[in-house]
Amino acid sequence: MRNRPPLLLLTSLVLLFLALPIVLIAAVSFSSAAYLTFPPPAFGLRWYRAYLGSADWLASTWLSIGVAAATVALATSLGTLAALALGRLPRAARTAAAALILSPLIVPGIVVAIGIYYAFSRWGLIGSPVGLVLAHTCLAVPFVVTSVGASLANFDRRLEQAARSLGATPWGAFRQVTLPLIRPGVLVGALFAFITSFDELIVALFLSGSGAVTLPRRMWDDLRFAIDPTIAAVATLTIAFTALLLGGAHLLRQRALR
């Protein structure tokens, strides 16, 4: 059935509504004005220079990248191992384990954040990157388990058994047979884990303290005092970076399907 003009018009307007705010941020970030105005009087890289010249912004950027990298390492290894065995658990145990592992997708962010804050403040984990990595790993794991689980669904277990019967050790069979075949799922899970941690704000609001101010946390702090176009530059870079990672994930999936 063809789309009629009124429906196409309405759809275009909604798509404009979806895209416009993000395009606007990019436009503002290239503005030359000292405060936020639209349209910008002239274009320039002033706010990107302000970002690159600020020790605070750069420190937060590196911290966020570091925390996200550590989260990827932990979430991907723990999540991949669990995904491999989840299907072999007895039914009741599998349901319970899956409920726990996937629940961070459902429990409201504020409830998770204050719960973690409640315990971590007693354990001295406030204002430390370690606390952020531990918390972000729990939030990122569901993406790894679902992504690896999806690629395992297409994986023939008999290949592993064949390797074992030909004399491979369990670890050898995993490394030489299973891992290469599920690698796209693992990599996609790792990318989503990275984005989850890199963009995470609510937990960071409670755990960052003054010692571990991540990039989203610094943006939040700045937004509460003054809206300076430096944030627009940072936001534009973040969007571009995330889009790049998602494009990578998409390509990996395409290749896995072939």
Partner 1 sequence: MTQAASAPVLLVGPLLLFMAAFYAFPVLAMLARSVTDPHPTLANFAHLAGDGVFLHVFGTTLRTAFIVTAGTLFLGYPVALALSRMRPTAATITLVIVLLPFWTSVLVRSYAWMVLLGRRGLINEALRALDLIDAPLRLLNTPLAVNLAMIHILLPYMILPIASVLRQIDPSLPRAAAGMGATPWGAFRQVVLPLSMPGALAGTLLVFVLSLGFYITPALVGGPRDLMLSQLIAQQVDLLNWPYAACLSVTLLAATLVLLGATQVLPGVRGAFRLGTR
Interaction with partner 1 in 74-93: which residues (CB under 8 A)?
A: 74, 78-79, 81-82, 84-86, 88-89
**Residue with Cβ nearer partner 1 (59 or 243):** 243
- Does 225 bind partner 1 (CB under 8 A)? Our answer is no
**Shortest distance, CB of residue 24 to partner 1, whole angstroms?**
6
- Does 42 bind partner 1 (CB under 8 A)? Our answer is no
Let me know: does 164 contact 247? Beta carbons within 8 Å.
no
- Does 171 bind partner 1 (CB under 8 A)? Our answer is no
Q: Is 43 helix (H, G, I), strand (E, B) or coil?
A: strand
The encoded tokens of residue 217 equal: 């946390």
Count of residues of this chain found to bind partner 1 when the rule CB under 8 A is applied: 76
Long-range contacts of 224-230 (CB under 8 A, 24+ apart): 227/36, 228/35, 228/36, 229/28, 229/29, 229/31, 229/33, 229/35, 229/36, 229/46, 229/47, 229/50, 230/47, 230/50, 230/51, 230/54, 230/57
- Does 242 bind partner 1 (CB under 8 A)? Our answer is yes
**Residue with Cβ nearer partner 1 (129 or 216):** 216
**Residue with Cβ nearer partner 1 (55 or 106):** 106
Candidates 17, 166, 167, 255; binder of partner 1 (CB under 8 A) is 17
Candidates 116, 148, 163, 187; binder of partner 1 (CB under 8 A) is 116
Q: Is the peptide bond before 39 cis (omega within 30 degrees of 0)?
A: yes
Backbone φ and ψ of 45, nearest 5°? -105, 15
**Shortest distance, CB of residue 227 to partner 1, whole angstroms?**
6
Cα dihedral 221, 223, 228, 234 sign: positive
**Residue with Cβ nearer partner 1 (19 or 58):** 19
- Does 243 bind partner 1 (CB under 8 A)? Our answer is yes
